[in-house]
Chain A
Amino acid sequence: MFSLLQQTAPVVVEHSETVTHTETAQAAAHGADAAHAAADAAHGASNAGMPQLDISTFGNQIFWLLVVLAVIYWVLSRVALPRISGVISDRQGAITGDLMAAEEFKQKAKDAEAAYDKALADARAEANKIIAANKAEIQKELDAAIAHADAEIAARAGESEKRIGEIRASAVEDARSVARDVTEALVQSFGGNVDQNLINDAVDQRLKGALQ
C-alpha cells in the first residue's frame, strides 16, 4: 500500500492539500504506535503488511525450524521411539505370556478335574464291587440258611408224616382188632363156631372198602 501511495503521492499533492495532511497525521500516529513495539520500528516499512510475508525473517525461521526439527528427529529416532516400541512389545509379550500361563493353568485345572473325576469313578466302581460282593455273600448265606431251614422243615414234615402214618396205622390196627373182637363176640353170641381165619378175612374185606 505504501508503494502505491508513494507512486500516487505527486498526484495527490496536486489534487488537494488535505489528503497529504491526513497522510502525515496518519504517519505520525503510526510512528507512535510503532514505538510501542520494538519490532515495528525494526522492520520499518514492512510492518504494514502481514508479518507472514516479511521476507527478512524467513531465513531466521527456516534456520531455527530446521535446527528444531533435527533435534526432535534425532531424539525421537534414537531415544523415544525405540523405547516406546520396546515398552509396547514388552507389554505385548507380557500379555501373551500371561495368556499362555493362564491357558496352562486352565489345562492343569482341567487335568486335575479329570483326575478327580477318574478317582471318583474308581471309588464308585470299587464301592459297587464291594456292595456286589457283600450282596453275593449275604445271598449265599441266605440261600444256605433257607436251604437249611427247608431241609429242617422237610425233616420235620417227614417225621410228622411218619407219626401220622404210624398213628393212622395204629388206628387201623385198633379198628381192625376192635372189629375182629366185635365180630368174634357176635359170632360167639350167635352160637356159631369161631373160626379165627374166616373172621379175619371177612373183617379185612369189609375194612378195605371203608378205610381206604
Chain B
Amino acid sequence: MENLGQLGQYLGAGLACIGMAGAAMGVGNVAGNYLSGALRNPSAAASQTATLFIGMAFAEALGIFSFLVALLLLFAV
C-alpha cells in the first residue's frame, strides 16, 4: 500500500510535468510573435518590450503552477 501511494505520487508528479510543455509553447509563441513583429517594424519593438515580458510572465506562470503541483505531490502530500 505504501508503494502504491508512492507510485501514485511519482506518476502524478511526472504527469504534472507535462503541463510545462504547454507553458513552453506559450512562451515560445509570445517570443516568436514578438520577434516576427519586431522584424517587420523594428522601430516599434523597443516600446513593446514591457508587453513582451508581461505576456511571457503570464504564460510562464502556468508552467510554474504545474511545477508546483509536481513538487507538492513529491514532497507535501
Q: Which of A24-53 contact B (CB under 8 A)?
A: 48-50, 53
Task: Report the interface size class on chain A.
Answer: 10 to 19
Whether B75 pairs with A4 at a CB distance below 8 angstroms is no
| Chain B positions 53-67 with a Cβ under 8 Å from a chain A Cβ | none
Residues of B within 8 A of A62 (CB): none
B50 at interface, CB cutoff 8 A? no
The answer on a CB contact under 8 Å between B5 and A48 is no
Cβ–Cβ contact A49 & B1, under 8 A: no
Determine whether the beta carbon of B2 is less than 8 Å from that of A50: no
Chain A nearest CB: distance from B5 CB in Å? 6
State in angstroms the CA–CA spacing of A53 and B77 once bound together. Answer: 11
Interface of A is mostly: helix
Chain A 1-34 near chain B by CB (<8 Å), digits 1 or 0: 1001100100110010001000100000000000
Q: Is the CB of B71 within 8 A of A50?
A: yes
Interface residues on B, range: under 10
Task: Give the residue of A5, A48, A49, A53 whose beta carbon is less than 8 angstroms from that of B2.
Answer: A5
Give bound CA distance, A8 to B76, whole Å: 17
21 of the cross-chain contacts (CB-CB < 8 Å) are: A1-B5, A1-B9, A4-B5, A4-B77, A5-B2, A8-B1, A8-B2, A12-B2, A15-B1, A19-B2, A23-B2, A48-B75, A49-B75, A49-B76, A50-B71, A50-B72, A50-B75, A50-B76, A53-B72, A53-B75, A53-B76
Chain B residues at the A interface, C-beta cutoff of 8 Å: 1-2, 5, 9, 71-72, 75-77
Can you add 18 more A-B contacts, CB < 8 Å, to A1-B77, A12-B1?
A1-B5, A1-B9, A4-B5, A5-B2, A8-B1, A8-B2, A11-B1, A15-B1, A19-B2, A23-B2, A49-B75, A49-B76, A50-B71, A50-B72, A50-B75, A50-B76, A53-B75, A53-B76
